[in-house]
C-alpha cells in the first residue's frame, strides 16, 4: 500500500499520488497516460483525473503497480472494483494485457492469448486470486512463454495451478530450471498453427520473441515503443552482447507484424509497412 507520508513533491495536489517507493517501471504511464508522467527518477501524478474514464484508468494503474506505490486519499470502491474486473485488459481480438505487474520482474508487463488449441501466458504477472479466477473463466493456461530470465516472476505457481508447459531458452533456463519446453540455438521455429518462437539473443543470451498470427510480436525487454519520440527502441544498458542484440533486431525485419507488445516500455500498433520502416530505422540508428 502506498504511504501518504512518502508522497512525492512532484505529484499534483489531489486524490491520487505516487510515493517514493516507485521503481519507475512505466506501468502507470502506459495505463493512465493522461494522469501519470515520468518526473526525474519516478512517475508522478501530473493531472488529477476528473472524468470517470480517467479515474478508472488511474485505478487500473494503482492495481497494476508492482510496488504498491500509487495511492488515493479517498477511494471510490465502485470504480476500484470495476478497474479490478477490467483485467485481463483487451488489446485486440483474443490478446490481453494481464495487469498486476510483478516486482519480481521489475514491473514487467505480461500478456494473455486466448486460443482454441490452448491459451498462452506470456511472462508472468503476480499470482493473485482475481487473475487466477479470470484465467479459469477464459479456459485456463496451456503454455507459459518466458521471454527471458528476468521476467519469470510467478510462472511456476501458474504452471502448477493450470498444468501449463513453460517455454524458455536453454541459455536462460537457470531462471526456470524445471521448465517443460527448452528452446535451443538461434533458429526460429513454429509452435503450433499460429505461433513462431524467435530467438533474439542480446539483452540476455536466451532472450526470445513470440510472433502470433504474423501480427502480434511479444518482445520482452528486446524491443519497445518510445512514445515520447515516437520510435522503436531497444536496450543500451544491461545488455549481454551488443553485437548480438543488433543482429537480433535486424533479423526481425524478416517477419511481418503490426503490434509490438513489450515487457518494459510502451506497446504500439502500426500498419505493417510502417512497422517495418520503424524497425529498419532502429537498425540504422543502432549501427
- CB burial readout 195-232, b (16+ within 10 A) else e: bbbbbbbbbbbbbbbbbbbebbbbbbbbbbbeeeeeeb
> Is the model's pLDDT at 233 over the cut of 90?
yes
Q: pLDDT digit string (tens) for 20-53?
A: 999 999 999 999 999 999 999 999 999 999 999 9
Rounded average pLDDT over 166-173: 98
The Cα-based distances of 185 to 170, 171, 174, 181, 198 in angstroms read 8, 9, 16, 13, 10
Q: What is the pLDDT of residue 122?
A: 98
Residue ranges and CATH numbers for the domains of the chain are 4-84 (3.30.70.20), 87-286 (3.60.15.10)
| Cell matching residue 117 | 488449441
Q: Do β-strands 95-97 and 89-92 pair in parallel, antiparallel, or remain unpaired? A: antiparallel
Cα–Cα distances in angstroms (integers) from residue 23 to residues 1, 69, 103, 223, in the given order: 14, 9, 9, 20
In the predicted model, what is the mean pLDDT of residues 170-181? 98
Q: How many CA atoms lie within 13 A of 53 on its CB side?
A: 2
Strands in the chain per DSSP E: 16-18, 36-39, 42-45, 70-72, 89-92, 95-97, 111-113, 120-122, 143-145, 165-169, 181-183, 189-191, 195-199, 208-212, 216-220, 224-226, 231-233, 259-262, 268-269
Q: Tell me the average pLDDT across 221-228.
A: 94
The model's pLDDT over 88-121, given as tens digits with 9 standing for 90+, comes to 999 999 999 999 999 999 999 999 999 999 999 9
Q: What distance in Å separates the CA atoms of residue 246 and residue 214, rounded to the nearest whole number?
A: 22
pLDDT of 191 over the 90 cut: yes
Contact, 60 vs 83, CB < 8 A? Answer: yes
Residue 287 has pLDDT above 90, yes or no: no
- Count Cβ atoms below 10 Å from residue 35 Cβ, excluding itself: 25
Spell out the residues 6+ positions from residue 77 whose beta carbon is closer than 8 angstroms to its own. none
pLDDT digits (tens, 9 = 90+) for 58-79: 999 999 999 999 999 999 999 9
Whether the model clears a pTM of 0.75, i.e. scores above it, the answer is yes
Which of the 8 DSSP states describes residue 5? Answer: G
Task: Kindly tell me if the per-residue pLDDT of 196 is higher than 90.
Answer: yes
User: Distance between alpha carbon 111 and the CA centroid of its chain, in Å?
Assistant: 6
How large is the average pLDDT for residues 239-262?
97
Tell me how far apart the alpha carbons of residues 91 and 259 are, in angstroms, rounded to a whole number: 10
- The arithmetic mean of pLDDT across residues 248-263, rounded, is 97
Distance CA 265, CA 261 (A): 9
List 113's β-bridge partners, or say none: 95, 120
State residue 1's pLDDT score: 83
For residue 256, give the C-alpha cell: 511481418
Question: pLDDT value at position 286?
Answer: 86
Determine the Cα–Cα distance for residues 264 and 251; give it in Å rounded to an integer: 20
Amino acid at each position: 500500500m502506498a504511504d501518504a507520508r512518502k508522497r512525492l513533491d512532484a505529484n499534483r495536489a489531489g486524490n491520487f499520488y505516487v510515493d517514493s517507493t516507485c521503481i519507475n517501471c512505466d506501468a502507470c504511464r502506459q495505463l493512465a497516460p493522461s494522469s501519470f508522467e515520468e518526473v526525474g527518477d519516478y512517475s508522478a501524478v501530473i493531472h488529477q483525473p476528473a472524468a470517470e474514464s480517467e479515474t478508472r484508468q488511474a485505478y487500473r494503474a494503482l492495481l497494476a503497480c508492482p510496488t504498491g506505490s500509487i495511492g488515493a486519499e479517498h477511494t471510490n470502491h465502485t470504480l476500484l472494483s470495476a478497474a479490478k474486473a477490467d483485467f485481463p485488459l483487451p488489446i485486440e481480438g483474443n490478446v490481453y494485457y494481464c495487469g498486476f505487474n510483478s516486482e519480481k520482474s521489475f514491473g514487467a508487463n505480461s500478456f494473455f492469448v486466448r486460443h482454441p488449441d490452448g491459451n498462452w501466458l506470456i511472462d508472468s504477472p503476480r499470482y493473485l486470486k482475481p487473475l487466477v479466477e479470470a484465467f479459469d473463466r477464459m479456459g485456463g493456461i496451456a503454455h507459459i512463454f518466458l521471454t527471458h530470465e528476468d521476467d519469470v516472476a510467478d510462472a511456476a505457481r501458474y504452471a502448477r495451478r493450470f498444468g501449463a508447459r513453460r517455454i524458455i531458452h536453454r541459455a536462460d533456463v537457470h531462471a526456470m530450471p524445471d521448465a517443460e519446453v527448452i528452446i535451443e540455438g538461434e533458429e526460429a521455429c513454429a509452435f503450433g498453427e499460429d505461433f513462431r518462437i524467435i530467438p533474439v539473443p542480446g539483452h540476455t543470451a536466451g532472450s526470445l520473441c513470440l510472433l502470433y498470427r504474423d501480427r502480434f510480436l511479444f518482445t520482452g525487454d528486446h524491443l519497445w515503443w518510445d512514445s515520447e519520440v515516437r520510435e522503436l527502441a531497444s536496450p543500451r544498458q544491461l545488455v549481454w552482447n551488443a553485437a548480438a542484440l543488433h543482429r537480433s533486431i535486424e533479423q526481425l525485419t524478416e517477419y511481418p507484424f503490426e503490434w509490438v507488445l513489450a515487457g518494459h516500455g510502451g506497446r504500439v500498433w502500426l500498419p505493417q509497412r510502417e512497422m517495418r520502416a520503424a524497425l529498419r530505422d532502429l537498425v540504422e540508428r543502432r549501427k
